[in-house]
C-alpha cells in the first residue's frame, strides 16, 4: 500500500513557512516565551491555531506586529525630536504694548 502523504509537504515544512510555534515566535522577537504567550492571549497575533498539542501563530502576523512596534517607536522618536527642537529654537517674541 502506498503512503498517502507522498508528494505532500511534511508538517515541519508547513509550520516553518506559514506558522511559528510560541518558542520560535519569541526568538524572532527577542522576548521570553512567557511574554509571547501573554501577547497571544491579548490577541496581538490574531487567531491562534491548535493542532493537537501544537500551538501555532501565523508568521506574517508576528512580523506585522514587530513592524508596528518599530513604526510606533520611530513615531515616538520623531515626536521627541520635534519637541526638543522647539525647546532649543529661538522663539520670536512680539512686542507688547502697555
Which residues have CB under 8 Å from 57's CB, separation 6+? 19, 20, 21, 22, 25, 40, 45, 46, 48, 49
Q: What are phi and psi of 82, to 5 degrees?
A: -65, -45
List of the chain residues with pLDDT < 70? 1-17, 81-84, 87-98
Position 76 scores a pLDDT of 79
What pLDDT does residue 95 have? 59
Please give the pLDDT value at position 78: 76
Q: Can you tell me the distance from the alpha carbon of 17 to that of 61, in angstroms, rounded to the nearest whole number? A: 12
In the numeric block, the cell 504567550 is attached to 37
User: pTM of the prediction?
Assistant: 0.63
pLDDT score at 77: 77
C-alpha cell at 51: 493542532
pLDDT at 3: 46
Q: What is the pLDDT of residue 55?
A: 95
CATH placement of domain 11-74: 1.10.10
Domain boundaries, the chain: 11-74
Q: Are 19 and 56 in contact (CB under 8 A)?
A: yes
Amino acid at each position: 500500500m502506498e503512503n498517502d502523504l507522498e508528494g505532500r509537504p511534511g508538517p515541519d515544512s508547513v509550520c516553518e513557512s506559514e506558522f511559528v510555534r510560541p518558542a520560535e515566535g519569541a526568538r524572532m522577537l527577542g522576548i521570553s516565551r512567557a511574554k509571547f504567550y501573554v501577547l497571544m492571549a491579548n490577541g496581538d497575533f490574531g487567531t491562534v491555531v491548535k493542532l493537537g498539542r501544537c500551538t501555532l501563530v501565523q508568521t506574517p502576523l508576528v512580523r506585522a506586529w514587530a513592524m508596528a512596534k518599530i513604526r510606533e517607536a520611530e513615531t515616538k522618536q520623531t515626536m521627541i525630536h520635534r519637541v526638543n527642537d522647539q525647546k532649543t529654537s529661538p522663539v520670536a517674541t512680539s512686542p507688547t504694548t502697555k
